Amino acid sequence: MSTEKEPIPAASNFIRAIIEKDLAENKYASKHWAGSPGDAAHQASGQVDFARIRTRFPPEPNGYLHIGHAKSIFLNFGLARDYNGVCHLRFDDTNPEKESQEYVDSISDMVQWLGFGWNNSTPNGVETNLYFASDYFDVMYQAAEALITHGHAYVDEQTAEEVRINRGTLTEPGKDSPFRNRSAEENLRIFREMRDGKHADGSMLLRAKIDMASPNINMRDPAIYRIRRAHHHNTGDQWCIYPMYTFAHPIEDALEQITHSICTLEFEDQRPFYDWLMARLVEAGLLANPVPYQYEFARLNLTYVVLSKRKLIQLVEEKHVSGWDDPRLPTLAGARRRGYTPAGFKLFTDRIGVSKADSWIDYSILEDCMREVLNESAPRKIGVLDPIKLVIDNYPDNQEEDCYAPNHPQKPDLGKRVVKLSKELWIEREDFMKEPAKGYFRLFPGNMVRLRYGYVVKCTGCDKDAAGNVTVVHCEYLPDTKSGTPGADSVKVKGNIHWVSAAHAYAAEIRLYDRLFKAAHPGSGDRDFLDDINPDSVTTITAQLEQGAQEAQAGDIYQFERHGYFVADRKDSVPGKPVFNRTVTLRDNWQK
């Protein structure tokens, strides 16, 4: 058996092109890795890195992952896989007030659900590349002291309002802080007092000393440490000062020997600070070249959803949805419960691509990707969602017989299943009209249709209640026309309807989920995004399903013929009593 690996895919986006150029130039060929994150001295003790590249997926554990994160996960883990590298899962947990173990667990779960992990085989055994920014707090503090010692950082005692005013505007330069020219010794003394809890929260900041006249506001002495007495999910009460994200993130990348730090476009203006910090820490001897470099791509902008973490939290906390895993939410937990699949997300991310240009992706593209994948993978079942009774008057009482339906019409190797036929059936209410419209070929008095997988039947009439509503449809069957028998084609009909035996059906709770918002851009203009919530985003019905559907396990996905794709709910299904969620209809109902 050949041991050669499959060829690396041709560069299909600008990031792949950059990686291939870096590899061709051996940019990181001499990079060392000691088996764990660490500073220059630690990494120098290791061997040349077995991983050709290192990427990372660095979520903040302050919420649940959403569909936009799926794009980043497939990008970072996919690049590492394709170029014989390693992708780290790293939690950027530098803001203790908004983070929790619940979010850590849910993020880990979703990364694994999409098909990726953090245990990587190396020449020295299995390496676990699961990291927390908070594990590097000691090194980050050391880096801050190094900046102070070399005259690149100072403690600022201005109020938050004074800092804001003196920062300047896009057209006017900022003003130097009155504390900017303190000596390194004094700054170091006060910074250590901050660390030791001798100053109040918010009373002072540690700021990088760069250029208050820079045209890039992010370079106007950005804050790198603040006092924040808050319990941390990982370090407890060990620290009362915490690094700012823009300071911590580059250091995390460097300690983990990341080669390509891939971010979304909103971090583009932060890249000069990223590079400035790397250069200063190399000069201080804390890091060694080559250092990581940041690249930006366009984040996912998707119509009919909100991906703002603040808005998602509001939807959950104000109970506009049932929780973070509500199937209407664009969270990955909600998408999994809805019946969306990792393969569908992979197809979606491949289809929309990676670029530097911001653009809007219509939600229908995601739905089409799910349809395409589920059409290939989902076995078929029969479900009657709006049932009305059909009685075959000339069919013997108490008789039943087997009809045979393919488990997947495009996959004969999956075989067929038995569907029971009896005297009384459930059919869709829309499959009968007492007075048919033009072009209507289903049941109406005098017309014949085929019961799918069964007999041809002729409609003889209907029963009505006192209000004139049809309650029962009557028909007679033609005994020699059963599907799969020699006489099946002896009678030609234009209509074909699905059904389930009333005696064998499973009455199931079905949630018909639709888009949570009725506007393509919720909250655009001066509207509150909550005003755009779709009041019909979920409807609960009782449907009649073929008997085999009752055996569904939580997470099982089927195509209910004519209707769409449905999944047995992960939370509310129990053995023998599955509850189904509609994943997506067979066709796009929103285009019209």
55 among annotated binding-site residues: no
Angstrom distance (rounded) from CA 440 to CA 431:
9
Angstrom distance (rounded) from CA 197 to CA 195:
6
Angstrom distance (rounded) from CA 354 to CA 262:
11
68 among annotated binding-site residues: yes
Angstrom distance (rounded) from CA 498 to CA 554:
25
69 among annotated binding-site residues: yes
Which residue's structure tokens are 């609960």?
Answer: 540
Sign (positive/negative) of CA torsion 263, 265, 267, 269? positive
66 among annotated binding-site residues: yes
299 among annotated binding-site residues: yes
424 among annotated binding-site residues: no
User: How far from each other are the two terminal CA atoms of the chain, in whole angstroms?
Assistant: 53
Q: How many CB atoms lie within 10 A of CB 124?
A: 10
Angstrom distance (rounded) from CA 512 to CA 193:
59
67 among annotated binding-site residues: yes
Residue 52 annotated as catalytic: no
300 among annotated binding-site residues: yes
Q: Which residues, other chains included, contact 563 with Cβ-Cβ below 8 Å and sequence gap of 6+?
A: 383, 385, 582, 585, 586
* Active-site residue, from 20, 60, 157, 424: 60
* Active-site residue, from 175, 180, 229, 309: 309
Which residue's structure tokens are 């995004």?
Answer: 529
User: b/e map of 329-344 (b: 16 or more CB within 10 Å)?
Assistant: bbbbbbbbbbbbbbbb
71 among annotated binding-site residues: yes
Residue 60 annotated as catalytic: yes
Angstrom distance (rounded) from CA 473 to CA 427:
9
Angstrom distance (rounded) from CA 444 to CA 148:
86
Q: Are 139 and 255 in contact (CB under 8 A)?
A: yes
Strand pairing report for 260-264 and 241-243:
unpaired
Beta-bridged to residue 463, according to DSSP, are: 472
Q: Is 502 exposed, middle or buried (0-12, 13-18, 19+ CB in 10 A)?
A: middle
72 among annotated binding-site residues: yes
Q: How many CB atoms lie within 10 A of CB 50?
A: 15
108 among annotated binding-site residues: no
Which residue's structure tokens are 């059919």?
Answer: 427
Q: Are 384 and 426 in contact (CB under 8 A)?
A: yes
Sign (positive/negative) of CA torsion 121, 126, 132, 138? negative
Q: Is 253 exposed, middle or buried (0-12, 13-18, 19+ CB in 10 A)?
A: buried
Residue 4 annotated as catalytic: no
Angstrom distance (rounded) from CA 285 to CA 349:
40
Give whole-number Cα distances, 31 to 28, 45, 335, in Å: 5, 11, 39
Angstrom distance (rounded) from CA 89 to CA 434:
62
231 among annotated binding-site residues: no
Strand pairing report for 360-361 and 301-302:
parallel
* Active-site residue, from 27, 98, 229, 299: 299
62 among annotated binding-site residues: yes
Q: How many CB atoms lie within 10 A of CB 481?
A: 20
The single-letter DSSP state of residue 298 is: P
298 among annotated binding-site residues: no
Q: How many degrees, rounded to 5, is the angle at CA 280 between CA 277 and CA 281? A: 85
Binding-site annotation: residue ranges:
60-62, 66-72, 92, 245, 264, 299-300, 307-309
Binding-site annotation: residue ranges for ATP:
60-62, 66-72, 264, 299-300, 307-309
Binding-site annotation: residue ranges for L-glutamine:
92, 245
Question: Where in the sequence numbering do the catalytic residues fall?
Answer: 60, 299, 309
